[in-house]
Each structure stands twice: as structure tokens, then as C-alpha cells.
Chains A and B, each alone.
Chain A
Amino acid sequence: DAGITQSPRYKITETGRQVTLMCHQTWSHSYMFWYRQDLGHGLRLIYYSAAADITDKGEVPDGYVVSRSKTENFPLTLESATRSQTSVYFCASKQGPGNTIYFGEGSWLTVV
């Protein structure tokens, strides 16, 4: 049962570079989410998607772009990475309007 897989798991990039974090789920879940985890902030929602081709901003969307052309994929792009975007990024999904969200293992991103 693959569930949610994120890639890359670890990435170091330079300020100003474009970076894309991939997320793939095998459950055919309708909803997908991107969170970031930072010390002192817990988990904060960046973007979410209720279905293919439908995306919405979360709490901290600035500097990020998402797309959802296929139900199973939800890539997150940092168009011009900044040091403040150094964080751990978690992709998540859930089947429908229920409440339990399932997380991937995380992508550690360092911007230097």
C-alpha cells in the first residue's frame, strides 16, 4: 500500500531557483493538501485541492504555486525560492468531506 509518496525527500537549493516538490497518492482521494512545518508554528496549510483542476489558497500561499491536472498528483512549486521557505513540507490527502487527513513522509527543503 504505497499511500502518499513525496519526492524529493531532501533538497538543497539556492535562493532564486525554482523548485518543485512532487506528491503522488494511490488512494484516488479527492482532496489533497500541502502543509509546511516550522519550529514555533506547527503545521500550516499552504494550498489545497478538492478535485482535479480545483485549487485554493491556504494560510500561507505566498511564493508558492500548485496545480492538479490529475487526481493522483499535486505538485508544489516555489517559483523563486527564498531562505524563509526553508522548511519541511508535507503533502496530505483525504477521500471526501470527512475529517481524517493522511500525510506523506515529508520533503526537507533547505534554501541557501
Chain B
Amino acid sequence: DQQVKQNSPSLSVQEGRISILNCDYTNSMFDYFLWYKKYPAEGPTFLISISSIKDKNEDGRFTVFLNKSAKHLSLHIVPSQPGDSAVYFCAANSGGGADGLTFGKGTHLIIQP
């Protein structure tokens, strides 16, 4: 039973355009959502997060949107740059997450020149 789903294994976007990565979740207890970015041969690095009390959080070129009624969140990257090519993991937890994060399978973003 996959509680966090990233249904697009890969996404190709032209440099300078907007990249939109999607994530769905099934656990209604999740109250905090995060995006991690991962380059090959490195550990995941924290990118941006959002609490369930908000519907949008922005940090520079990165914006995360949360639609609680649809149990859906998305990560927008504008404008996309070559260095954004990586695997992006959506993650969630509840109640402070003492037991860690639940991750999606990841989306491989490829930025084309």
C-alpha cells in the first residue's frame, strides 16, 4: 500500500521553462510534506517543505502547492536550469514524524538545453 505516489517516473523539460512535479498521498494523517532532490551517487538533499495549514510555500525558483481536498501536491521550478536535472522525491509525515518520512518512488527530471 503506497501512501505517497509519484506517478511520473521521468519528466523532460526544456531549459528556461517551468517544471511541474506531482505527488499524491492517501494517508489523511499526513500533515507535513517535503521535497528532496537527489543527484547520482549522493544522498537526498532537502529542497522545500509545506505544512498542511498552508496551500503554498515559495523559496526562490521553487514553489510547492498543496491541495488537501485532492490529497495532491506539486513542485514548480521556474525557470528550469540544467543543474535541476536530478531525481525528486516527495515525502510526508505526521505528528512531527518521529518515525521518519514516507517517500514516493521519485521522478527523474531531465532539463534539456
Contacts and interface: CB of A to CB of B under 8 A. Distances in A.
Nearest to B5: A42
Q: How large is the interface on B (under 10, 10 to 19, 20 to 34, 35 or more residues)?
A: 20 to 34
Nearest to B32: A99
Given A100-B49, A106-B43, A40 B96 contact: no
Nearest to B36: A103
Contacts of B96: 96-99
Chain A: interface size category: 20 to 34
Contacts of A79: none
Contacts of B105: 40-42
Given A42-B104, A99-B32, A90 B99 contact: no
Contact of A99 (B34, B43, B104): B34
B34 A48 contact: no
Interface in B20-72: 32, 34, 36, 41-46, 49
A101 B96 CA distance: 11
A100 B100 contact: no
A103 B34 contact: no
Interface string B95-113: 0111111111110000000
11 contacts: A42-B106, A45-B100, A45-B101, A48-B99, A56-B99, A58-B100, A92-B43, A99-B101, A101-B101, A104-B43, A106-B43
Pick the 3 closest A-B CB pairs, nearest first: A97-B96, A103-B43, A42-B105
